Structure 1
């Protein structure tokens, strides 16, 4: 593609009596091809990449990267192809640069010399094309008069360099490294014209879509329970989380099912999910992702997918959250016998105007115990069951949502009686207003076997 419209050949002024020369038809063909490339690459900025690629794994063991089958569009709009059995193999010997392939290795570029305005297409120091004898073709009208027409075939080559020289136009098709004294392909993904579900990028997105749907189904089932029908802050937040997960999921799944979606369009669908998942993790502003790199799309996809998975991991399926009932400043919940085999984990949500420090101070001075012992606790001026704050490192697989502080309440049978209501209330009524909500986290049986 020309770098600007000024490099496009001007239209030929055809006129009666014009003496025709080969240059007229050459310029007509060049202008037509360049116009198509200019429009395509302007309308679709990443309109280049691999359509089909097959590399010989056997030859790679001996240090030769050989392309067996290839179909691609170059960054300047040139369509190229290669098949096993063509006159010249498309390969590069990597053994002379074996020492340069340590660590991350080097990219291998598929390249062709740049088009030189006014230059010879098949001659000179670096011809763009090679002249080949075409297959005989007949007149399409009569089916007769077969003739052989000389053809121009792009002179393809492979270069293992970090940056392709300016005299070539090309795209990376692989990245090769030497590991444990063996030549190997890295997990590099070349630029592509479309993403199929069987491709590396497609599998990344399909795996992510499956996780999103599984998490959404889990939350939807919780929302259908009697607790999920309540108007408690925890349940409202769960419904908002569910909305954040599913809002971009149908678009992602629909694009994947076509097997023809451009990788940049699919990446934008991932970015939409990144935005909707930001609130799920308790953040207010989405992360600033690096610019999309069409020549190395896996890096861009991985950054978006990793963030989404990180947010999904914050939604714990190991625990069920059971809210306390609040009445006149007293938070109460009947403790089932099965819940009392270990210490209790509770989450305390601050009121909108309160800080985390306020919640910690309130909980440290609160009375914690069963209903039958609350009155004696007040008379003896004791706080009841010991409790201490749990930080994020100690929480392990239980990640609290924004505004929730976790506490561990020790199972002290002098203060906590299984089967009775557990009460949590302020130890000093005139001290400060209590939290907005308290929930008890019960580990699900299935998570105990993991």
Structure 2
């Protein structure tokens, strides 16, 4: 008979335990089905704590736990004495998962036993407890029989189809001194990421990265200059980052947060961030959510998010300050010598002279070279690095009215000396009234 069928109650019927058992089965079935339709992956721990002292005795034990098993059974014990017996880990055990298990429901099988038996697969053990009458007209205490789930800690390899289970811990090894060493990166199936240290740590890390990225991009967009193509791209990125920043801030304060809700938010974010990479999309198929391997799947997803945020955090253009050493000589120091190889360099120039004169005479009178070479080049009147006039401002840097832009040509023998030097020397021989210069390093891949 189907235990999910509703019991019919009529006046004058002769009540037996069967009626209440079937009515309870019907209600439990309704709750399980309703809950399963509300969301996927509705099993795991709400709260759990391992007894650390038992690890030194070669055992796995739970101090307290609550949650749902995959078959919808709710369990809760606030004291280890009311939970499953400790599991003694066999010698030489390594790389084994420990699970919390309960016999599955089976038609025709007894569900409750009244004294503990070793070989039975009953799901509950009966126990008696004195309870008070909650009514105002109390009749005193009464002895009531309750049923406690027969939870058991087992090695996953010992599970059969007769058990429903969720992971508790991952045993790396049992040492010769009897200490059980666990994988600190293991995340058991959980219903509340807010209570799970590693998952909540990931959420905190992502929130911090988003705050940093939001401030960085917003700071660049506050710089003076018109809203050019590069800034439009940055603005789009800032919109994306700020949206997920708000979502992450909200999730951090939720008292109950299912890990799949995190996944549903973070996976599209990782795919969106890939738009700003050179490939414009994820190189491989997106990772798949695995409720029984949260550490594995979230580890892959966090790697994608960190990579995406670190890539888009790179500045496409960096202004190098010009330090005046003497009349006509300025020095621009490169923060990292590898930039000489990976970046292009642009000199933005403004002066109170017609643009045609600036374009014609400035490159001839400006000598740029490594600091160690500039004195010889000036004294011997030898050419420095070639300055080539650009038709417009590069899209990576702010545009300012009245400026002309000159790009340094790479490839000369003198350019090879720049990586060793790490600093540009700019020597101007002529006079240009109202002269203002900006020296920019532009990431080559972003051009």
Structure 1 residue 69 corresponds to structure 2 residue 59? no
Q: CA deviation at 1:346?
A: 6.5
User: Which residue of 1 is the match for residue 88 of structure 2?
Assistant: 93
Question: Tell me, which stretches of 5 or more residues in structure 2 are unaligned?
Answer: 114-118, 321-327, 346-360, 368-381, 388-408, 430-438
Computed over aligned residues only, the root mean square deviation of the Cα atoms, in angstroms, reads: 3.7
- Relative to structure 1, the CA distance from residue 73 to residue 175 in structure 2 (aligned partners, 3 Å threshold; closer, same or farther) is same
Q: CA deviation at 1:64?
A: 0.6
User: Which residue of 2 is the match for residue 194 of structure 1?
Assistant: 192
User: Which residue of 2 is the match for residue 312 of structure 1?
Assistant: 309
User: Which residue of 1 is the match for residue 363 of structure 2?
Assistant: 371
- Indicate conservation of the 8 Å contact 2:317/2:440, yes or no: no
User: Which residue of 2 is the match for residue 361 of structure 1?
Assistant: none
- Relative to structure 1, the CA distance from residue 420 to residue 279 in structure 2 (aligned partners, 3 Å threshold; closer, same or farther) is farther
Task: For 2:301 and 2:165, locate their aligned partners in 1 and report how far apart those are by CA, in whole Å.
Answer: 27
- Indicate conservation of the 8 Å contact 2:170/2:186, yes or no: yes
Task: For 2:410 and 2:362, locate their aligned partners in 1 and report how far apart those are by CA, in whole Å.
Answer: 17
User: Which residue of 1 is the match for residue 203 of structure 2?
Assistant: 205
Secondary structure at the counterpart of residue 93 of structure 2:
helix
- Relative to structure 1, the CA distance from residue 277 to residue 222 in structure 2 (aligned partners, 3 Å threshold; closer, same or farther) is same
> Could you tell me which of 120, 130, 152 is aligned with 2:147?
152
> Could you tell me which of 219, 222, 229 is aligned with 2:220?
222
Q: CA deviation at 1:276?
A: 2.3
- Indicate conservation of the 8 Å contact 1:56/1:68, yes or no: yes
Task: For 1:108 and 1:155, locate their aligned partners in 2 and report how far apart those are by CA, in whole Å.
Answer: 16
Task: For 1:55 and 1:119, locate their aligned partners in 2 and report how far apart those are by CA, in whole Å.
Answer: 32
Q: CA deviation at 1:58?
A: 1.6
Structure 1 residue 418 corresponds to structure 2 residue 414? no
Task: For 2:229 and 2:417, locate their aligned partners in 1 and report how far apart those are by CA, in whole Å.
Answer: 27
Secondary structure at the counterpart of residue 34 of structure 1:
helix
TM-score, normalisation: structure 2 = 0.70
Question: Tell me, which stretches of 5 or more residues in structure 1 are unaligned?
Answer: 1-5, 324-333, 350-368, 376-381, 388-405, 422-437, 443-450
Q: CA deviation at 1:371?
A: 0.6
TM-score, normalisation: structure 1 = 0.70
User: Which residue of 2 is the match for residue 448 of structure 1?
Assistant: none
Q: CA deviation at 1:138?
A: 2.0
Task: For 1:281 and 1:169, locate their aligned partners in 2 and report how far apart those are by CA, in whole Å.
Answer: 44
Alignment of 1:254-269 (within 5 A): 254-269=250-265
Structure 1 residue 161 corresponds to structure 2 residue 147? no
User: Which residue of 1 is the match for residue 106 of structure 2?
Assistant: 116
- Indicate conservation of the 8 Å contact 2:93/2:174, yes or no: no
> Could you tell me which of 266, 277, 280 is aligned with 2:276?
280
- 1:72-96: CA deviations, max 9, x gaps? 21111211123436367531000x2
- Indicate conservation of the 8 Å contact 2:124/2:150, yes or no: yes
- Indicate conservation of the 8 Å contact 1:274/1:308, yes or no: yes
Task: For 2:63 and 2:2, locate their aligned partners in 1 and report how far apart those are by CA, in whole Å.
Answer: 35
Task: For 2:168 and 2:192, locate their aligned partners in 1 and report how far apart those are by CA, in whole Å.
Answer: 15
User: Which residue of 1 is the match for residue 332 of structure 2?
Assistant: 338
- 1:196-239: CA deviations, max 9, x gaps? 1772101111111101211221121122112xx33444333333
Task: For 1:304 and 1:49, locate their aligned partners in 2 and report how far apart those are by CA, in whole Å.
Answer: 20
Q: CA deviation at 1:167?
A: 0.4
User: Which residue of 2 is the match for residue 170 of structure 1?
Assistant: 165
Task: For 2:213 and 2:342, locate their aligned partners in 1 and report how far apart those are by CA, in whole Å.
Answer: 23
User: Which residue of 2 is the match for residue 251 of structure 1?
Assistant: 247
Secondary structure at the counterpart of residue 99 of structure 1:
coil
Q: CA deviation at 1:336?
A: 4.7
- Relative to structure 1, the CA distance from residue 197 to residue 77 in structure 2 (aligned partners, 3 Å threshold; closer, same or farther) is closer
> Could you tell me which of 290, 295, 303 is aligned with 1:293?
290
Task: For 1:90 and 1:51, locate their aligned partners in 2 and report how far apart those are by CA, in whole Å.
Answer: 20
- Relative to structure 1, the CA distance from residue 139 to residue 244 in structure 2 (aligned partners, 3 Å threshold; closer, same or farther) is closer
Task: For 1:335 and 1:115, locate their aligned partners in 2 and report how far apart those are by CA, in whole Å.
Answer: 86
- 1:334-388: CA deviations, max 9, x gaps? 9952248978456469xxxxxxxxxxxxxxxxxxx9711699xxxxxx997499x
Secondary structure at the counterpart of residue 209 of structure 1:
helix
Larger deviation, residues 39-48 vs 13-22:
13-22
Task: For 1:81 and 1:319, locate their aligned partners in 2 and report how far apart those are by CA, in whole Å.
Answer: 54
Secondary structure at the counterpart of residue 188 of structure 2:
coil
Give 4+ residue runs of structure 1 displaced > 6 Å after superposition. Answer: 340-343
Larger Rg: 1 or 2?
2
Q: CA deviation at 1:162?
A: 4.0
Secondary structure at the counterpart of residue 158 of structure 1:
strand
User: Which residue of 1 is the match for residue 266 of structure 2?
Assistant: 270
